[in-house]
Amino acid sequence: MTGLRILALDIDGTLIGSDKRIASFTASEIRRVAETEGVHVILVTARGPQSTALIEEQLGVRSSYATYGGALVWAREADGRFSTLSETPLDDGATARFLELAAATDVHVGVYTRDDWFVNRLDYWGLREARNTSVWPSDVGADYVRPSALAAGAVFKVMFRGESAALDALEGPLREVGADAFIHRVPHVIEIISSRAVKLPAVTALASHLGHELRDVIAFGDSLSDLELLENAGVGVLMANASKSLGASPAIERTLSNDEDGIGVMLRKHFPTSAPFRT
């Protein structure tokens, strides 16, 4: 029997495919190792709790959460309730400055609190995020994303979306704020969370709470924010759809892509079974 007791899963680019769905074989393998091997599932994601809960529902497996990149860490207890292990919001002053800078541009603004998602307008970018996450904004309007409208210590993520040129102009001033924040940029998105919200310590804390160590964890991911966890887990697995420029350690195992049951086939490898292999 394998010594792996915890399954840590990134969501976007890893657990769900490009169609934003969980492949049926991967879902069945996750349920198998949870039910027959007693493996505890942790969903480790930049998404918020609401969207993560919907993924958990699709899986049909009770899971712990490390959301907003590790800013909110919730352990699922045996009775089904959550215990909050840590909360790491963005600095209030930095958040205010980020939103002030964005207000002077035409970008789409999304503000994520513990329980809500506020947007300045429900345009193409807002609709796309809603469709991708299956979560509808709590409120819409510029007033909802002003610093004065947000409670102290409430913001865990800020996201700016738009055309590349607009984000190019905004990115430099955001980085000049010099806050304790991690600013992640892809062509049409700038995502900001606390630099202290990191996946590795989040999973470490959850494993410890559950009576295990990192060596007991098998972790899957596809991006730079996953690498540290993959390098330190008992087994780290990188998806084939990950960027070739990541420079991942040779010690990290490689699997198929998120559209090819990359998680499912590796779970079959590490948790063997005589059950028929049906992808």
Please report the pLDDT score of residue 134 as a whole number: 93
Q: Which residues of the chain have pLDDT under 50?
A: 1
Does a structural domain hold residue 220? yes
Residues 157 and 248 in one domain: no
Residues 126 and 206 in one domain: no
Let me know: does 255 contact 265? Beta carbons within 8 Å: yes
Residues 218 and 264 in one domain: yes
Residue 11's domain is classified under what CATH number?
3.40.50.1000
Report the distance separating Cα 155 and Cα 139, nearest Å. 15
| CA 129 to mean position of chain CA atoms | 14
Query: 126: number of CA atoms within 13 Å, CB side?
Result: 19
Does a structural domain hold residue 278? no
Residues 61 and 137 in one domain: no
Q: Strand pairing of 117-119 and 139-140? A: parallel
Query: 217: number of CA atoms within 13 Å, CB side?
Result: 32
Residues 114 and 186 in one domain: yes
Please report the pLDDT score of residue 1 as a whole number: 47
The pTM (predicted TM-score) of the whole model is 0.94
Domain boundary at 194, 214, 240, which? 194
Residues 100 and 174 in one domain: yes
Domain residue limits at 172: 92-194
| CA 1 to mean position of chain CA atoms | 30
Does a structural domain hold residue 254? yes
Residues 82 and 214 in one domain: yes
Please report the pLDDT score of residue 183 as a whole number: 94
Phi/psi for 150 (5° steps) reads -110, 135
Phi/psi for 63 (5° steps) reads -135, 155
Number of domains in the chain: 2
Phi/psi for 269 (5° steps) reads -70, -45
Selection from 28, 29, 31, 53 nearest residue 43 by Cα: 53
Let me know: does 66 contact 88? Beta carbons within 8 Å: no
Selection from 254, 239, 218, 260 nearest residue 23 by Cα: 260
Q: Which residue type, as a one-letter code, is found at position 21?
A: R
Residue 131's domain is classified under what CATH number?
3.30.1240.10
Report the distance separating Cα 93 and Cα 179, nearest Å. 9
Domain boundary at 194, 213, 230, which? 194
Let me know: does 207 contact 75? Beta carbons within 8 Å: no
Residues 83 and 102 in one domain: no
Residues 216 and 185 in one domain: no
Domain boundary at 168, 194, 220, which? 194
Residues 78 and 117 in one domain: no
Please report the pLDDT score of residue 153 as a whole number: 82
